[in-house]
Amino acid sequence: MENDSNNSSNDEFTKVDFKDGTQNCKNFFSSFFSNPIKTLKNISDSKHNLFFNTAIIMLLVWVLIMFFHALFGNVYSNNGLYIFLSAVRDLTIPIISVGFLALIIYCMAPNKDEKCSLTNTITSSIVCKIPIIFASFISLINLVSDKAYYITNPITYFCIAISIVLTYFAIKFLYKESEDFKSFKRFMVIEGIFYGVYLILSFLGIYMV
């Protein structure tokens, strides 16, 4: 009887937890697509890790998309080691991209205790990559058509541009900086470091976006 009661409680908790998670995802996407700048501002001001779980889900979705790229992008290769290393490389792109960006932003923060939360920094970094996640999804078309890149490449470049713009606002809001020139200067330094690391890693066959 007691076990039945415990199982019932666990089932109820799972239902409530899933419902809350689904609602948080809906709230996030509704907020982001209606006003992405305000969403970044709300994340930076949050004391309760706003949208952190949803952001982690988005990161996992990105990893899943890259898994499909790795899985079907090398189907004609007979080199097992090459396929394995390519898969590892592709699967690490989302984590390395978000991780380095969040780390640089957090380490460059003027005052980490009062202004810049690590959790909010990670969440903001993932949110800034949403356009790139979308571009990665669209570029799956390249796996079934050799000519698809005529469509997917411009979309990818456009999404990267949007991502960079979102990164500027994320830095501005996380640092609680009111002066545009200071925000822009810090943004340029952070982007310079990010792409400097990108250049070094690219020689090792490791890429970030």
Percent of the chain with pLDDT over 90: 47
Cα dist. 9→5, 21, 138 in Å? 6, 18, 42
For position 42, what pLDDT does the model report? 92
Please state, as a whole number, how many other Cβ atoms lie within 10 Å of the Cβ of residue 198. 16
Tokens of 116: 């810049």
For position 79, what pLDDT does the model report? 62
pTM of the entire predicted model: 0.83
Beta strand extents in the chain (DSSP E only) = none
pLDDT mean over 175-203: 91
Alpha carbon distance 117, 49 (integer Å): 9
Alpha carbon distance 152, 203 (integer Å): 25
> Domains of the chain: which residue ranges?
1-34, 41-202
Q: Match 């019932």 to its residue by tokens.
A: 8
Question: Each residue of 54-99: pLDDT tens digit?
Answer: 999 999 999 999 988 887 766 566 666 666 777 778 888 899 999 9
Alpha carbon distance 194, 209 (integer Å): 10
Alpha carbon distance 135, 105 (integer Å): 24
For position 2, what pLDDT does the model report? 46
Q: How sure is the predictor about 34, in pLDDT bands with cuts at 50, 70 and 90?
A: very high
Q: How sure is the predictor about 202, in pLDDT bands with cuts at 50, 70 and 90?
A: confident
Whether the CB-CB separation of 104 and 118 falls below 8 Å is answered with: no
Alpha carbon distance 154, 165 (integer Å): 17
Q: How sure is the predictor about 112, in pLDDT bands with cuts at 50, 70 and 90?
A: low
Q: Which of 97, 145, 153 is nearest to 125 (CA)?
A: 97
Whether the CB-CB separation of 95 and 59 falls below 8 Å is answered with: yes
Whether the CB-CB separation of 94 and 62 falls below 8 Å is answered with: yes
Dihedral (C-alpha) 132, 133, 134, 140: value to the nearest 10 degrees? 110
